[in-house]
Structure 1
């Protein structure tokens, strides 16, 4: 264990023997300090939407196809022009130093090792350049929490471009922080500095509560901000936090190169719909104009399959990868992605789908349980 400002960080570096991804949460809880674990695992208010994200995947079923005459499904796909070995990507998840001493650097290494796409957060525990370098040329996106200070936004975007990121994810569903009771109970403050916040928060984010961090974030975000970021960076802008067809169309109309369906893993608007329950309607409105990314509640290969069949081009995971990071560092992250890919391959075989494009043509059975 490493210790930073009294906070104990895992330094595990090992492959994981994974039975399933849900079991990793309890294992990680045993080694991540209470405040850090509460921040990572918690949702807002009574966590109704957090729970709904998992339950929503029972609302549709995969029909087995037995006479499909296929074998050895292929997970390769191309999205945003990037050839990828898996349709599963890393969601932009904040403060990964809470789980492991090497934080986002190890996550980037693990994701690159499986041929996936990495997204890093404004609130990362490592700098944009260090995280990008750890990917060793693998494609990465940078996720921007817009500040009220446009000069600061420019400084982050400049650093991201210099580091070679391939796209900007603009998060639009976090203009204020969700009411997260675990953080209140634990009196949680970030013990580890956030290098990207040097100009944003006194002490680099260290010693601040999440509400204090969000206080400097922009509360007013609209289509013109999408246009401004796209124009300033000349990079594709993916708008994250979309849960309605109307907002998807607003984003595309403003020049968004991608739509990211997410409810922030149940961490923002409690009582809102599960992301999976709105995915198909959003994807229908997008109608192939731009790629669709999806996250929130993904824990199984069948979840990935159902999301792609409902219109997602990429499916992102957050918490499971962070738990893998805590338990095994870069190799742990790699183990998580490999396990999810293994489950997905099994589902693809049993559903008679050889490729990711075949999944997209699959009709799910809509029966609620």
Structure 2
């Protein structure tokens, strides 16, 4: 363990033997301090939407195919002009130093090992530059929580461009924080400095509560902000937190080059629909004009398959990867993605889908 400001961080570095991704949560809970674990694992209010996110995958079924004369399916794919070994990516999750001393740097290293896309958060424990360096040239996206202070936004965007980010993910569903009871019970305050807040204009993030962090966030976000970020960075802007066809079309009309369907892992509007339940209608509205990223509730290879067959181009997750980070550092991260890939390959073979493009065309029973 590494101790910083009295908070115990895991410094494990090892490959993991994984039965399934859901089993990682209980194992990680034993080594992540209660405040940090509550922040990572918790959802809003009574966590109804959080639970529905995973349950919703049962609303459709994969049609098995047998006489397809195929073998050795491949998870290789391409999205946003980037060649990837898997459609599985790291969702931009904050403060990964709560799980491991190396934080996002270890996550980036592990994702690079398996040829998967890394996305890092504004509220990362490690800096944009250090996270990018840990990936050793592997593709990364940078996620922006817009601040009321445009100079702060510019400083982050400048750093992301300099670090070689391939796209900017603009999160639009977190203008206020969801009511997260675990953080209240634990009286949780961030014990570890947030590198991007330290470097720039809003303090170090250490010792702050969730409400204080979000108080600096922009509450008014409009299509004009999508255009402004696109013009400023000359990078693709992917709008994250889309849960309706109407917002998807507004984002594309403003120049968004990607739609990210997500309900923030059940951490924001409790009582809203499961992310998977809105994916199909949004994909129909987007109609292939831009790529779609999907997250929320993904725990199985079959979930990845169903999301792809339901309209996604990339499928992201965070909590299970962060648990793998706590349990095994960069190697633990790689182990989680590798296990999910193994499950996905089995599903692909049994559904007669040799490529990820075949999966996207696979039939689901609704």
Alpha-carbon displacement from aligned partner over 1:3-32 (angstroms, at most 9, x marks no partner): 000000000000000000000000000000
Q: 1:363, CA displacement in angstroms?
A: 1.5
Question: Following the alignment from structure 2 to structure 1, what is the Cα–Cα distance between the partners of residues 220 and 197?
Answer: 20
Tell me the TM-score normalized by structure 1.
Answer: 0.98
Task: Give the SS at the match of 2:297.
Answer: coil
Aligned to 1:2: 2
Aligned to 2:225: 225
Alpha-carbon displacement from aligned partner over 1:145-164 (angstroms, at most 9, x marks no partner): 00000011000000110111
Show the 5 A alignment for 1:272-283: 272-283=272-283
Aligned to 1:145: 145
Aligned to 1:358: 358
Cα pair 1:275 1:295 within 8 Å, conserved? yes
Show the 5 A alignment for 1:121-132: 121-132=121-132
Show the 5 A alignment for 1:227-242: 227-242=227-242
Ranges in structure 1 where 5+ consecutive residues have no aligned partner = none
Aligned to 1:213: 213
Question: Following the alignment from structure 1 to structure 2, what is the Cα–Cα distance between the partners of residues 158 and 279?
Answer: 32
Question: Following the alignment from structure 2 to structure 1, what is the Cα–Cα distance between the partners of residues 362 and 186?
Answer: 45
Question: Following the alignment from structure 2 to structure 1, what is the Cα–Cα distance between the partners of residues 130 and 164?
Answer: 11
1:52 aligns with 2:56: no
Question: Following the alignment from structure 1 to structure 2, what is the Cα–Cα distance between the partners of residues 225 and 356?
Answer: 33
Aligned to 1:201: 202
Question: Following the alignment from structure 1 to structure 2, what is the Cα–Cα distance between the partners of residues 73 and 281?
Answer: 28
Q: 1:201, CA displacement in angstroms?
A: 3.1
Question: Following the alignment from structure 2 to structure 1, what is the Cα–Cα distance between the partners of residues 201 and 97?
Answer: 19
Alpha-carbon displacement from aligned partner over 1:30-85 (angstroms, at most 9, x marks no partner): 00000000000000000000000011000000011011111000110010000000
Aligned to 1:33: 33
Alpha-carbon displacement from aligned partner over 1:297-341 (angstroms, at most 9, x marks no partner): 000000000000000000001000000000000000000000000
1:298 aligns with 2:298: yes
Q: How many residues are paired up?
A: 365
Aligned to 1:42: 42
Question: Following the alignment from structure 1 to structure 2, what is the Cα–Cα distance between the partners of residues 170 and 269?
Answer: 18
Runs of 4 or more, structure 1, over 2 Å off, are 198-202
1:24 aligns with 2:30: no
Alpha-carbon displacement from aligned partner over 1:113-164 (angstroms, at most 9, x marks no partner): 0001000000000000000011111100000000000011000000110111
Task: Give the SS at the match of 2:27.
Answer: helix
Cα pair 1:201 1:213 within 8 Å, conserved? no
Question: Following the alignment from structure 2 to structure 1, what is the Cα–Cα distance between the partners of residues 50 and 13?
Answer: 30
Ranges in structure 2 where 5+ consecutive residues have no aligned partner = none
Tell me the TM-score normalized by structure 2.
Answer: 0.99
Show the 5 A alignment for 1:54-73: 54-73=54-73
Q: 1:200, CA displacement in angstroms?
A: 4.3
CA separation of 1:200 and 1:38: change in aligned 2, threshold 3 A: farther
Aligned to 1:74: 74
Task: Give the SS at the match of 2:248.
Answer: helix
Aligned to 1:315: 315
Task: Give the SS at the match of 1:22.
Answer: helix
Task: Give the SS at the match of 1:238.
Answer: strand
Alpha-carbon displacement from aligned partner over 1:267-313 (angstroms, at most 9, x marks no partner): 00000000000000001100000000000000000000000000000
Cα pair 1:66 1:351 within 8 Å, conserved? yes
Cα pair 1:200 1:216 within 8 Å, conserved? no
